[in-house]
Chain A
Amino acid sequence: MKNPSVSIKHLDLEFGSFKVLKDLNLDIGQGEFLVLLGASGCGKSTLLNCIAGLLDVSDGQIFINDKNVTWEQPSERGIGMVFQSYALYPQMTVRGNLTFGLKNAKMPKKEIEERVTRAAEILQIEPLLNRKPAALSGGQRQRVAIGRALVRDVDVFLFDEPLSNLDAKLRADLRVELKLLHERLKNTMIYVTHDQIEAMTLADRIAIMKDGLIQQLDSPQEIYNRPVNKYVADFIGSPSMNFFEGEIANGQFVSGDLSIDLTRYDFAEESPNATAWFGIRPEHILVNDEAPFSAKVRVDIVEPMGSDTLVWTKINGTPFRFRMDGQAAVSVGDDLSIGFDPARASLFDNTTELRL
């Protein structure tokens, strides 16, 4: 990547003998919104703390705007950070919270005032400036926390699960606000979350992490449609992908009585003959419709969710979920004809779990 905003080179981090991050390389472009996504304990927050300078790295380098900041203090790195628990200073007013960092930097009073006014205007927290954090709602607190990063007028924003403490409705609202903020400011943003909806909706690119390694770094579309391995395929998408274990032979995927024609599947290389996992997303299943592959199933469980209905069945003894319209009239015991297009499926090698 040319002229990256943040560049991480061969980063290692160990706690004692436990390696949290292993030879991690990552380039983040100017103005990019990058989401670090993964289950808890995958090292995503650790990576963010390393970028912020809150954790000392064991090996490797971190560059921000082409400046090696590996040994710099957090305040000297040109970053602003927003935390999950808001981390507002409880004894200070909102104004005090916003100006604390600027006062530490010995900035002239006039400029502090200008920056606070601008941040408050962007985040619409002007009426709250003289309140204490205890007198704010969760959403307002998180806005102030974002404001604290905003007034620093930095190039890189770091978010550590900023929406996880909010209730579902507020989270959806603030998600949109964050996206608007990014459109407006065009700063580089690095955002840690375990929520795939946040990742999919906000990110220019998503880095999916597991055990201190980046599994896949790609656009949300690409990650959703062409996951590089079975872990990513399983992790992204809710409800998660259906998998069948079987063999690929002569352009056919065979699993017990099941046989799926793979001529429409886009293999990375030539169609191999191997044991493999066949994965298809629940939302790519068609019911009572023409499809290259079809099968008969009996409904086991129906989960109506309003907007759509999740149906649990079995194919070949393997649990199989698919999604139907919210108005669909199905009940337990019904026989349905389902089908899908193998072009939308994903195949993974049985042992390496890599995409075929």
Chain B
Amino acid sequence: MADASATNSDVTTMSGPRGRKPTRMLTPRNIMLYGTLFVIAVYYLLPLYVMVVTSLKGMPEIRLGNVFSPPVEITFEPWVKAWSEACTGLNCDGLSRGFWNSVRIMVPSVAISILIASVNGYALANWRFKGANIFFTILIFGAFIPYQVMIYPIVIILREMGLYTKLSGLVIVHTVFGMPILTLLFRNYFSSIPEELFKAARVDGAGFWGIYFQIMLPMSLPIFVVAIILQVTGIWNDFLFGVIYTKPENYPMTVQLNNIVNSVQGVKEYNVNMAATLLTGLVPLIVYFVSGKLFVRGIAAGAVKG
């Protein structure tokens, strides 16, 4: 039997391992682990480093061939040129045109697709209507059909609607193609919200839209952030749809970037190409940095229940 009064005097006489187990930093395991992580980090960061460094050099310095050396004389001229002067075909107003095209494509596409998909997901998760499962199956099946199969039919559809080569046509295409994955995302998130909450709201007399706007929406900020990130990066990085369904003055930034980098006349201006590429990648990059934390939280929350 334990004797409470005896423990105090025992403290001084205890021998052998005691308390927290000591940890050593320089074990073979740690060296391997951190070594590998370091090498991989360098491997991924090196190209980015080369791009940033090259974009800040003038052409004479680039011709010296020291790819990894930092710029002797920092110049922002390539960035300015890429943004406002680089030529694609006959247009010589740089990437800025493509940037604004991309914004005009992205903003409505993201807003519309998320709006519709969230209502879709809410209806599928909470209002078990007749045929809900079939509808959901078809929608998910749509996510697995290769895009290439649908390219030509969509060209015809857009032409018949009079939207071919227009920005609004591309917005519709992006909205439709975002629907399966976004609906799945929202459905899973809304299913993870306790059903009793939904029931309580029904007893309280809230209807379909009342529950959606007053109960579900305020609880689902993380998943909206996830959806926005997925759509912004997806639509911003799209090349295929942009090049097929628009014409040169409506080309999104990615297509224009390709045209600048791959233009064959004259000298290859590596610094301008690098700057143009960085400019194009900046939007998704900023989105990731700003919302990284929310993104992980939302992904984890949505994955709870499938």
> Interface-forming stretch among B182-190, B191-199, B235-243?
B191-199
Q: Which residue of chain B lies nearest to A105 when distances are taken between CB atoms in the complex?
A: B205
* Shortest distance between the CB of B201 and any CB in chain A (Å): 7
In the complex the two chains form, what is the Cα distance from A160 to B199 in whole Å? Answer: 12
* Shortest distance between the CB of B76 and any CB in chain A (Å): 46
A104 in contact with B210 given A84-B196, A85-B196, A91-B219 (CB within 8 Å): yes
Cβ < 8 Å to B, chain A residues 52-98: 52-54, 73-76, 79-81, 83-85, 87-91
Cross-chain contact A101 with B204 (CB below 8 angstroms): yes
Cross-chain contact A79 with B197 (CB below 8 angstroms): no
One of B196, B201, B203, B206 near A79 (C-beta < 8 A): B203
In the complex the two chains form, what is the Cα distance from A49 to B203 in whole Å? Answer: 11
Cross-chain contact A83 with B204 (CB below 8 angstroms): no
In the complex the two chains form, what is the Cα distance from A79 to B205 in whole Å? Answer: 11
Contact with B along A146-166 (1 / 0, CB 8 A): 001000100000001000000
In the complex the two chains form, what is the Cα distance from A101 to B197 in whole Å? Answer: 13
Let me know if B218 is at the binding interface, CB within 8 A.
yes
Q: Which residue of chain B lies nearest to A49 when distances are taken between CB atoms in the complex?
A: B199
Let me know if A235 is at the binding interface, CB within 8 A.
no
One of B194, B200, B206, B218 near A148 (C-beta < 8 A): B200
* Shortest distance between the CB of B122 and any CB in chain A (Å): 16
In the complex the two chains form, what is the Cα distance from A81 to B197 in whole Å? Answer: 11
Let me know if A224 is at the binding interface, CB within 8 A.
no
Cβ < 8 Å to B, chain A residues 4-58: 49, 52-54
One of A74, A85, A90, A91 near B203 (C-beta < 8 A): A74
One of A54, A73, A89, A91 near B199 (C-beta < 8 A): A54
Q: Which residues of A contact B215 (CB under 8 A)?
A: 89
Cross-chain contact B214 with A80 (CB below 8 angstroms): no
Let me know if A100 is at the binding interface, CB within 8 A.
yes
Q: Of residues B197, B205, B210, B218, which shows the largest number of chain A Cβ atoms within 10 Å of its Cβ?
A: B205
Q: Of residues B200, B202, B214, which shows the largest number of chain A Cβ atoms within 10 Å of its Cβ?
A: B200
In the complex the two chains form, what is the Cα distance from A83 to B210 in whole Å? Answer: 20
Q: Which residues of B contact A73 (CB under 8 A)?
A: 202, 205
* Shortest distance between the CB of A238 and any CB in chain B (Å): 28
Q: Which residue of chain B lies nearest to A91 when distances are taken between CB atoms in the complex?
A: B218
Q: Which residues of A contact B219 (CB under 8 A)?
A: 90-91
Cross-chain contact A75 with B203 (CB below 8 angstroms): yes
Cross-chain contact B203 with A101 (CB below 8 angstroms): yes
One of A76, A81, A91, A105 near B200 (C-beta < 8 A): A81
* Shortest distance between the CB of B106 and any CB in chain A (Å): 29
* Shortest distance between the CB of A159 and any CB in chain B (Å): 12
Cross-chain contact A83 with B200 (CB below 8 angstroms): yes
Cross-chain contact B202 with A54 (CB below 8 angstroms): yes
Q: Which residues of B contact A160 (CB under 8 A)?
A: 196
Cross-chain contact A87 with B200 (CB below 8 angstroms): yes
Q: Which residue of chain A lies nearest to B206 when distances are taken between CB atoms in the complex?
A: A104
In the complex the two chains form, what is the Cα distance from A264 to B197 in whole Å? Answer: 54
Cross-chain contact A89 with B203 (CB below 8 angstroms): no
Cross-chain contact A52 with B203 (CB below 8 angstroms): yes
Q: Which residue of chain B lies nearest to A158 when distances are taken between CB atoms in the complex?
A: B203
Q: Which residues of B contact A80 (CB under 8 A)?
A: 203
Cross-chain contact B206 with A100 (CB below 8 angstroms): yes
Cross-chain contact B205 with A75 (CB below 8 angstroms): yes
* Shortest distance between the CB of A211 and any CB in chain B (Å): 24
In the complex the two chains form, what is the Cα distance from A100 to B202 in whole Å? Answer: 11
In the complex the two chains form, what is the Cα distance from A152 to B219 in whole Å? Answer: 24
In the complex the two chains form, what is the Cα distance from A201 to B172 in whole Å? Answer: 63
Q: Which residues of A contact B197 (CB under 8 A)?
A: 87, 89
Cross-chain contact A87 with B210 (CB below 8 angstroms): no
In the complex the two chains form, what is the Cα distance from A148 to B196 in whole Å? Answer: 14
* Shortest distance between the CB of A85 and any CB in chain B (Å): 5
* Shortest distance between the CB of A31 and any CB in chain B (Å): 21
Q: Which residues of A contact B214 (CB under 8 A)?
A: 89, 100
Q: Which residues of B contact A91 (CB under 8 A)?
A: 218-219
Q: Which residues of A contact B194 (CB under 8 A)?
A: 85, 87
Cross-chain contact B204 with A104 (CB below 8 angstroms): yes
Cross-chain contact A89 with B196 (CB below 8 angstroms): no
A83 in contact with B196 given A90-B219, A91-B219, A104-B210 (CB within 8 Å): yes
Contact with A along B242-283 (1 / 0, CB 8 A): 000000000000000000000000000000000000000000
* Shortest distance between the CB of A325 and any CB in chain B (Å): 25
* Shortest distance between the CB of A136 and any CB in chain B (Å): 16
* Shortest distance between the CB of A163 and any CB in chain B (Å): 15
In the complex the two chains form, what is the Cα distance from A73 to B194 in whole Å? Answer: 20
In the complex the two chains form, what is the Cα distance from A105 to B210 in whole Å? Answer: 12
Q: Which residues of A contact B206 (CB under 8 A)?
A: 75, 100, 104
Q: Which residue of chain B lies nearest to A145 when distances are taken between CB atoms in the complex?
A: B200
Contact with B along A220-242 (1 / 0, CB 8 A): 00000000000000000000000
In the complex the two chains form, what is the Cα distance from A204 to B303 in whole Å? Answer: 45
One of A49, A54, A75, A90 near B204 (C-beta < 8 A): A75
Contact with A along B205-224 (1 / 0, CB 8 A): 11000100011001100000
Nearest 6 interchain pairs by C-beta? A75-B205, A101-B204, A104-B205, A87-B196, A91-B218, A87-B200
Interface residues of B (CB under 8 A from A): 194, 196-197, 199-206, 210, 214-215, 218-219
Q: List 7 A-B contacts (CB under 8 A).
A: A52-B203, A74-B205, A75-B206, A83-B200, A85-B196, A91-B219, A101-B203
Known contacts A52-B199, A79-B203, A152-B204; can you find 10 more A-B pairs with CB under 8 A? A74-B199, A74-B205, A81-B199, A81-B200, A85-B196, A89-B215, A100-B201, A100-B204, A104-B210, A148-B200
